[in-house]
Structure 1
């Protein structure tokens, strides 16, 4: 249903090469990012109190095409149950329909990944599990994007690179020190796939309603993304649960990367201030695309999740906050992300 090779090719052509630097400079960036990733392990452990096995996932320093290929591999694995479900419902397509349809969806996915590939600084992929390997997950650091942003912000490169590494290392710790987290999120994704509507008549009705609301979305009158326009009530419940846990994970990582302190990253306050200001300065087209693709909602996850983590820590400290990792029932709901006191009352009594 998707021409994955075409998606990679199209995305790589759209992504652009990134900043032009010498081979020696590139090698220095790679070395510093790799060293920062390893240095971050003890810093995250000391700040959070979460103990994770060291080097449980490989650290990959990639360019934009490398990030694209990694995400295509991940998408192919995650959506394979959905593809099987659709094929069971519709039956095998004709060779011509399959060829044309797969190229169209490949180009669509390529356009999405091409846009995203110049924005992402780093990523932890918790579901990557090489055959025969004892490790699970992998950390990706997108070197050209890190260099581009540090130049754009005019901040200390060494501080900025460690700051980015701290964020992604925190995600590795979340999935390593909390052994049930990976299966929990994978289960929620499976629930989302199970709730996908494949009846053509119902799907057409959902799309029709979505088109009616698209104008409001583009004008910024509705706090939804393009995907929200075609969700069923069942999907919305699952998405709300996923939003709650993702806000927690992203907000926690943001708090850690800022909280490790100026003793480790002397210019951390300057970096955070300039980084937040940069998020506001996108052009009109960029803002529309971000809204359509749900990236504004992603930024809200960082803000709201960080406010939740700080709100809980203000009341019960880091040890009290860490009860969130004890079991899935302790995860905050989407509503509790906006009301830390409600989570404290429920979990701490």
Structure 2
């Protein structure tokens, strides 16, 4: 349940999203059961391939990794709960920092408005996400969204078994990153704390700004023209303080690293593991460009275009470092916060190699 101090009524968000969900692809009961079974098998199979390629292994005594194959409503429920676990403490911390409480009636009304708006966003994203590793809100769980995987493999015209394993390789890499590098989650939580400490926004003003971003999404859906220069850049539109921007730069660097690492792994296993991997990559990259003008606008407003840049920058960084110092040298990145890449090093991996490993890039004659 959402508390009175919540920025967003996540219960209402979940209910709203469920009402707006698009139906998934048509499958028989037997076909659906077979997909669920194969995804569980693919996730289990991916573990050995990911560990073998990366050289990472879960730390002993850590949380037991779990996999859940869900439908779109299941993804909505998981993410409404996860976002509540993430954002509700943020609202409480902001109120404590400001030293005052918002009026209960104003807060309740405001949280319901943003809850309804957030429900629309959850519904939109729920038909596109293929899988995710839940960093916050649980002890770590890998979600695979079966109808979206089936719908995507049909649209791309690719081998279903190859595609399902390929997706699992990506998501299992995220699972391994957080189970093999136990300081990574606390580091991200600490960054959130620094973000709150740097902000001078009240919860009411943050809710108002969040509403502005969401309303711009509604304009995009209705086709209301918006100049590119005026289009909000997802959640970045909520942040103007330099100290907060510095925190977001650090978080962006981390998320680019983990996304790029997963991209490197899912292709790095090669055709011996996923025979059609080259075809999968080519067709999947086309999918990421969006299916139409409204879809592309929504991606930009949601900050998903920034997500695509994270994939590209992170992949460039990982492949660049591995090419220079091998996977063992690259794995130094997981030593601690001080060995994480700086944002500017994502596109200049040789600078990270020089700073962290003290190795100058080779000069070719």
TM-score for the superposition, normalised by structure 1: 0.90
Aligned to 1:5: 11
Aligned partner of 2:34 among 7, 28, 49: 28
Aligned structure 1 segments of 4 or more residues deviating by more than 4 angstroms: 199-207, 221-224
Alignment check: 8 A CA contact 1:128 1:138 kept = no
Q: Distance in 1 between matches of 2:327 and 2:234?
A: 37
Q: How far is 1:110 from its partner?
A: 0.6
Q: How far is 1:233 from its partner?
A: 1.1
Q: How far is 1:279 from its partner?
A: 1.9
Alignment check: 8 A CA contact 1:224 1:297 kept = no
Change (3 A) 1:275 1:222: farther
Aligned partner of 1:50 among 46, 51, 56: 56
Alignment check: 8 A CA contact 2:59 2:181 kept = no
Change (3 A) 1:342 1:222: farther
2:237 equivalent to 1:229: yes
Change (3 A) 1:201 1:43: closer
Aligned to 2:276: 267
Aligned partner of 1:93 among 92, 103, 106: 103
Q: Distance in 1 between matches of 2:162 and 2:26?
A: 21
Aligned to 1:161: 164
2:82 equivalent to 1:79: no
Q: How far is 1:148 from its partner?
A: 0.5
Q: How far is 1:18 from its partner?
A: 1.0
Aligned to 1:105: 114
Q: How far is 1:91 from its partner?
A: 1.7
2:181 equivalent to 1:178: yes
What's the C-alpha RMSD, in Å, of the aligned pairs? 2.7
Q: Distance in 2 between matches of 1:109 and 1:223?
A: 18
Aligned partner of 2:307 among 287, 298, 310: 298
Choose 48-57 or 244-253, whichever is displaced more. Answer: 48-57
Q: How far is 1:326 from its partner?
A: 1.0
Q: How does 1:199-238 map to 2 (within 5 A)?
A: 199=202, 218-221=226-229, 225-231=233-239, 232-238=241-247
Q: Distance in 2 between matches of 1:86 and 1:114?
A: 28
Q: Distance in 2 between matches of 1:301 and 1:35?
A: 29
Q: Distance in 2 between matches of 1:113 and 1:67?
A: 9
Aligned to 1:242: 251
Cα deviations by residue, 1:235-266 (Å, 9 ceiling, x for unpaired)? 10000000000000000000000101100100
Residue 123 of structure 1 aligns to a residue whose secondary structure is strand
Cα deviations by residue, 1:202-231 (Å, 9 ceiling, x for unpaired)? 979999xx9xxx99x954458971322331
Alignment check: 8 A CA contact 2:102 2:204 kept = no
Q: How does 1:143-162 map to 2 (within 5 A)?
A: 143-162=146-165
Q: How far is 1:185 from its partner?
A: 1.1
